[in-house]
Amino acid sequence: MATSLDLEGDVVDLLRRLVDVESVSGDEQQITDLVEQALRPYRHLQVSRQGNVLVARTELGRAERVVVAGHLDTVPIADNVPSRTTQEDGRTLVWGRGACDMKGGVAASLAAAAVLTAPRRDVTWIFYDNEEVEEQRNGLKRLAATHPQHLEAVFAVLCEPSNARIEGGCQGTMRVLVELTGVAAHSARSWKGHNAIHDAGAVLQALADHQPQQVVVDGLTYREGLNAVRVSGGIAGNVIPDRCEIEVNYRFAPDKSPEQAEAYVRSVLPGVPLRVTDVATGARPGLDQPAAAEFLAAVGGEPSAKFGWTDVARFSARGVPAVNFGPGDPSKAHADDEFCPGEEVVSCRDALVRWLS
Ligand SMILES: [Zn+2]
């Protein structure tokens, strides 16, 4: 039952409409159609579509351009669609899949896009698909490859849930495989072998003893983490194991390159045989840019560091500083009891409008 979206009516109703249209990753056609229909009538927006990625641009010839982006997909439904609302302590809470991650942010940015007919900076509004699945399918990644001009800006805001506060940048993440080798033997004659699992002890102890760094980048404090996340080894109850693998995950501050991150892991585990299996660079918050400083002023409050990796890094990788800013508690993202406070949707819309008016 697709009904049209009213971008200039009650923004909480708009959020409920968006939640009521199921849009699990890979199934975003209907919601993208609705958002496209809602945006097309606005003469101040040039709307284009590639698959289920929508781009709406103002073309006012302003000296600077900013991007505001959000994904339209959700993780699978958990008996939490359609939406419902409750009143708690004078607040309206909207419940349902995607309310928090991140249709609240999408509602706020759609409402802002509709009323900002002459923003002070040109704006590229991006709504995309397949954020919640493997990154080869990510709509923003695809857009960056096929239409990179749409990501060009001096600053980007990604409307991921952040309790309506600014979370700057994001940490990088690296997976490292420690590969310990020994000599297999029958456990009845263990002195003829070398036990690779026993060698894991020193590696695990070094990781347990390690004090993670706290790194200040552009005024925000990033708290790193270096942890064993998986251990495997051993083939039978009577065999001295000749192999043991430890997977290590390093969450690193966005001032480190992948090479520096690898060097850091090697410095904690000197002489240990390891190789990097996966790495994603973090994103600097870039809060010293004028567009970012004005955004901070419009939102108010103190920005904090983002722990975790988000699509802000896709902007950062192109030299565009980016922050997360959206309604909803990120710890409720993907939860069965996902919800978003209606007041935060309103305050995020109002902050975007204040910033760009
Ligand atoms: Zn999200």
Cα atoms in the Cβ-side hemisphere of radius 13 Å centred on 316: 25
Active site residues: 73, 131
Q: At what angle do helices 104-115 and 11-20 cross, to 10 degrees?
A: 130
Distance (Å) from CA 196 to ligand 1 centroid: 41
Q: Tens of pLDDT along the chain (357 residues)?
A: 457 999 999 999 999 999 999 999 999 999 999 999 999 999 999 999 999 999 999 999 999 999 999 999 999 999 999 999 999 999 999 999 999 999 999 999 999 999 999 999 999 999 999 999 988 999 999 999 999 999 999 999 999 999 999 998 889 999 999 999 999 999 999 999 999 999 999 999 999 999 999 999 988 999 999 999 999 999 999 999 999 999 999 999 999 999 999 999 999 999 999 999 999 989 888 888 888 899 999 999 889 998 878 899 999 889 898 899 999 999 999 999 999 999 999 999 999 999 999
Residues with CB under 5 A from ligand 1 (ion): 101-102, 160
DSSP notation for 50-76: ETTEEEEE--S--S-EEEEEEE--BSP
Distance (Å) from CA 160 to ligand 1 centroid: 5
Cα atoms in the Cβ-side hemisphere of radius 13 Å centred on 101: 20
- Calpha distance 141→121 (Å, rounded): 24
100-114 exposure pattern, b = at least 16 Cβ within 10 A, e = fewer: bbbbbbbbbbbbbbb
The pairing of strands 65-71 and 239-240 is: unpaired
